[in-house]
Amino acid sequence: MKNLFYFFLFFTAVSASSDFEAYFDSLNKKESKFNFSSLQNPFFNPNFNEIQNLKIQAIFLNKVKINNTWYKEEDKINEAKIKKIKSDRIILEYDGFDIVAKLRTNDKIYID
């Protein structure tokens, strides 16, 4: 019984190695017409990067001024929803996560 098992194991290893050699030979012979340098990073999210760089200019009466535009709760900025506006920060919801953006107290506040 042991000999039969070893024979089967040897036979499958030999047959599998020839299949793998044929497969890798076929891969080496094929020329790829796909330009891999044109692929973008799958983990790069431009909306998330823009959300991280939001600059709060002012918060006044449950409204917030971001990039010269006034927003209220439930409005969307770059696919992120304004969940809560507090006196010194806003809480954004993006892709199931809460992001806190704080009003910088040392920044000059200009209201147009």
Higher pLDDT pick, 46 / 11: 46
The upper half-sphere exposure of residue 52, i.e. CA atoms within 13 Å in the direction of its Cβ, equals 5
| Residues 69-105 pLDDT 10s | 999 999 999 889 999 999 889 999 988 889 898 887 6
| Residues 36-79 pLDDT 10s | 677 777 777 777 878 878 888 889 889 999 988 999 999 999 88
Higher pLDDT pick, 8 / 78: 78
